[in-house]
Chains A and B, each alone.
Chain A
């Protein structure tokens, strides 16, 4: 099957996940997806959980707190939104692990450009994070305390943001320089 067909199937699956409101169906679909993804399944599960745990944790906690105070807390709703996010993120990781995104988007030059730029930026930021983490490991003679970890995470976050902004500015200027944008601004 071509990369483009897989992209269509993936887009349809994402749409379907937003239309299903039964946690059992969503849970069942997630289970089927995990089983169907073969030998990569545990790596994909780990990546998915790592990717969503912080965000979903904060959102779930916020929802539980506010809804609880209002007396409107619904465990089924909490389960539903978490399963939906897990399923969509899992499908995303499964898709990019199996399908060449650039081939899938080859039908649209604009989407191909955007995907190439996003992949390039993502890879550069990943290398940067790897470097920061290795440097932190290298400089620590003892396991660092929580305060040091948080300080390091804050520095790394600020530098990443800085680098991402700088990268985006450079990319935009380079694209303008190469005639990608028509606007003179």
Chain B
């Protein structure tokens, strides 16, 4: 379904964002992308969403190359945008309609779907947004905004859902809800996080990006989490002193933070 072949991308100042990345993602897979800050997790999702294009290498979606030129074909572009949806880390970036109802209906209305209203009701119910439908999104909390963004994307029933640090701004209750919600979805999902304890809840397969922007690991998440040297290399664990009463010692370990 998704195929990256030796993809590299650098920013305009020449700083690398991704280096020589190859991977395949099959339909229905749930993939978790782990990596330290700045290793290229968000860039990877933006490449998969056709917002950023590789400087070298190729990205294929269902065997078709995803390039800047390809997006000039409006029918193809509409199809791609409908099927591959990205939840941005900052939900404010995605919200611009006057009410939550308009926000969720935006995509279906653009497609001219006759059941746009029903889709709004359906996804508002599924995400617990019914009471917020007539409010402007700027009146909502961070967690509610994230749910609105998710509803707006899911109203199009995408085949691939890309989520950039979706738990970064959520409180524990909302985090629990999102994990359950995602695990019930049948959609292919690619989720970035640096929360190691929640990562196994978000998918079985794990990609770890190294600080040199290369793919360090591609395999089962349980294996990755048992491999302490790998986590150290990826800067996903750290070392500091612990105090247990009078005893003090230091070892590599992970803390989860949002």
Q: Which of B98-129 contact A (CB under 8 A)?
A: 98, 106-107, 110-111
CB of B51 within 8 A of chain A?
Answer: yes
What is the bound-complex CA distance between A136 and B96, given in angstroms?
Answer: 9
What is the bound-complex CA distance between A143 and B98, given in angstroms?
Answer: 19
Q: A152 and B90: CB pair below 8 A?
A: no
Evaluate whether A155 and B110 lie within 8 angstroms (CB atoms) in the complex, with A139-B152, A141-B78, A141-B82 already known. Answer: no
**Chain B, residue nearest A137 (CB):** B51
Q: B93 and A151: CB pair below 8 A?
A: no
CB of A2 within 8 A of chain B?
Answer: no
Q: Mark B149-166, 1 if CB is under 8 A from A, else 0.
A: 000100010000000000
What is the bound-complex CA distance between A140 and B90, given in angstroms?
Answer: 18
What is the bound-complex CA distance between A15 and B111, given in angstroms?
Answer: 55
**Chain A, residue nearest B90 (CB):** A131
Interface centre among A132, A151, A156 (most CB of B within 10 A): A132
Q: B51 and A138: CB pair below 8 A?
A: yes
**Chain A, residue nearest B83 (CB):** A141
What is the bound-complex CA distance between A39 and B133, given in angstroms?
Answer: 53
What is the bound-complex CA distance between A134 and B156, given in angstroms?
Answer: 18
Q: How large is the interface on A (under 10, 10 to 19, 20 to 34, 35 or more residues)?
A: 10 to 19
Q: B107 and A139: CB pair below 8 A?
A: yes
Q: A141 and B110: CB pair below 8 A?
A: yes
Q: Mark B186-220, 1 if CB is under 8 A from A, else 0.
A: 00000000000000000000000000000000000
Q: Which of A96-139 contact B (CB under 8 A)?
A: 128, 131-132, 134-139
Q: A138 and B49: CB pair below 8 A?
A: yes
**Chain B, residue nearest A134 (CB):** B51
* Chain A proximity of B37: nearest CB distance (Å): 14
What is the bound-complex CA distance between A124 and B86, given in angstroms?
Answer: 21
CB of B59 within 8 A of chain A?
Answer: no
Interface centre among B90, B94, B96 (most CB of A within 10 A): B96
Evaluate whether A138 and B86 lie within 8 angstroms (CB atoms) in the complex, with A155-B96, A156-B96 already known. Answer: yes
CB of B81 within 8 A of chain A?
Answer: yes
Q: B97 and A141: CB pair below 8 A?
A: no
Measured between beta carbons, the chain B residues less than 8 angstroms from A134 are 46, 51-52, 88, 93
CB of B231 within 8 A of chain A?
Answer: no
Q: A131 and B81: CB pair below 8 A?
A: no
**Chain B, residue nearest A132 (CB):** B93
CB of B85 within 8 A of chain A?
Answer: yes
* Chain B proximity of A163: nearest CB distance (Å): 9
Evaluate whether A140 and B110 lie within 8 angstroms (CB atoms) in the complex, with A132-B93, A135-B88, A155-B95 already known. Answer: yes
Q: Which of A141-164 contact B (CB under 8 A)?
A: 141-143, 148, 151-152, 155-156, 159
- B residues neighboring A (CB under 8 Å): 46, 49, 51-52, 74, 77-78, 81-82, 85-86, 88, 90, 92-98, 106-107, 110-111, 152, 156
Q: A131-B88, A141-B111, A151-B98 are in contact. List 7 more A-B contacts (CB 8 A).
A: A128-B90, A136-B96, A138-B94, A139-B81, A141-B77, A143-B74, A156-B96
Can you report 17 A-B residue pairs in the complex whose CB atoms are below 8 A from each other?
A128-B90, A131-B88, A131-B93, A132-B93, A134-B52, A134-B93, A138-B94, A139-B81, A139-B107, A141-B110, A141-B111, A142-B110, A151-B98, A152-B96, A155-B95, A155-B96, A159-B92
- A residues neighboring B (CB under 8 Å): 128, 131-132, 134-143, 148, 151-152, 155-156, 159
